[in-house]
Amino acid sequence: MERLANVIHQFAFEGEYLDAEVCTFGHINDTFVLRFQQPENKMGRYILQYINKHVFEEPAEVMANIQAVTSHLRSRIEEAGGDPERETINLVPTQDGKPYYVSPEGDYWRAYYFIEGARTYQSVENPKHFYHAGRAFGQFQKLLSDFPAHSLYETIEQFHDTRKRYSDFLEAVEADRHNRAGDVQREIEFVKARKADTGVIVDLIAAGEIPVRVTHNDTKLDNIMIDDATGEGICVIDLDTVMPGSALYDFGDSIRFGASSALEDEPDLSKVWLDMELFAEFTKGYLGIAREFLTDTEVDHLAFSAKLLTLECGMRFLTDHLNGDEYFRIHRPNHNLDRARTQFKLVADMEGKMEQLEAMVRAALEE
């Protein structure tokens, strides 16, 4: 913890440092919750994060995006009479006023003010939470709808380019560097059978049929702060992957994670299916805001995007399994394989329910 103590002193935290708790959720960055004793016997908390340079090769660009987007969000929230201290994340500056700290070893660190009176959820405990998560992501996109998307850095190149993800997957199968392909032939064939799906959204973007927007690109339920008192989604967090993209990416990934009947690494596939009530709740919440700015073509592909983003994530998990678990943090043997199988079970279930999902989208538009 000496390394951590040296970093803590670099930031303009208020009060006397007490202790740090490791946050075990999340696949990428190292996250700590810090406690400080503050004046008038108050307890203050902050979030401190180490930025994973293996995933984010240009951390300064990540931070430039976060600064630009959160500044814009604060301005729009203030104009609407909201509370910018709770409705967007806010960076804690370093002692010399910078938005992040670079250690002598070249490690990048940043800190945020902790949002009190709210929490994140790893799974949906109340369907209304998911409805409000839909509204929160819709509001996030709405507030950024006038932000110049192309001014942002692409922090992970071709992040949601599903055709590129498919190519990466084929390379991992061919290389088979850890001799794992022989044991996952069924999963490999599942992906190959859906090759045609992988280019749908990227081709629509390339043809100009859907717009490029500022998107979050990692819209899991646990990236929404849910207010303890109201149950409403108040703040979108984890903005590392905010960059130019499609609104469909955000909607699809939200459904993939939040409307599943099980956690994304559930090894018992009999417990995995798409929860139609949760799909309906999120869609109603999202379109209650997003219908103001989405195009007809975007709306027409919302249900499909849920399937595509689930397939893409499953490909990524399987690719990482074949490559020796280099990208996603694992906590048990074959963890990424379990994650991939869960996604593929969800894809198959969505395919069987696609007509119903599309009908639910149309119904949500009419409410």
Rounded to whole angstroms, how far apart are CA atoms 11 and 62? 19
Instruction: State residue 30's pLDDT score.
Output: 85
Residues 246 and 304 in one domain: yes
Beta bridge partners of 243: 215
Rounded to whole angstroms, how far apart are CA atoms 303 and 298? 10
Instruction: State residue 25's pLDDT score.
Output: 65
Q: Residue 177's domain spans which residues? A: 127-366
Cα 252 versus chain centre, distance = 11
Residues 7 and 155 in one domain: no
Residues 161 and 278 in one domain: yes
Specify if 325 maps to a domain.
yes
- Please state whether the predicted TM-score (pTM) of the whole model is above 0.75: yes
Q: Which residues contact 185 (CB under 8 A, 6 or more apart)?
A: none
Place of tokens 């990428």: 28
Instruction: State residue 156's pLDDT score.
Output: 87
Instruction: State residue 123's pLDDT score.
Output: 81
Specify if 122 maps to a domain.
no
Instruction: Domain count for the chain, please give it.
Output: 2
Residues 103 and 143 in one domain: no
Residues 8 and 51 in one domain: yes
pLDDT tens across the length of the chain (367 residues): 567 888 999 999 999 999 999 886 655 678 899 999 998 888 999 999 999 888 788 999 999 999 999 999 999 999 999 999 999 999 999 999 999 999 999 999 999 999 999 999 888 888 999 999 999 999 999 999 999 999 999 988 899 999 999 999 999 999 999 999 999 999 999 999 999 999 999 999 999 999 999 999 989 888 999 999 999 999 999 999 999 999 999 999 999 999 999 989 999 999 999 999 999 999 999 999 999 999 999 999 999 999 999 999 999 999 999 999 998 889 999 999 999 999 999 999 999 999 999 999 999 998 8
Residues 341 and 222 in one domain: yes
Residues 183 and 298 in one domain: yes
Task: Name the E strands within the chain.
Answer: 16-23, 30-38, 42-50, 101-102, 108-113, 118-119, 213-215, 224-227, 233-236, 243-245
Place of tokens 């894809």: 347
Residues 289 and 337 in one domain: yes
Residues 207 and 247 in one domain: yes
Q: Which amino acid is at 34?
A: L
Angle CA(139)–CA(144)–CA(147) in degrees, nearest 5? 170
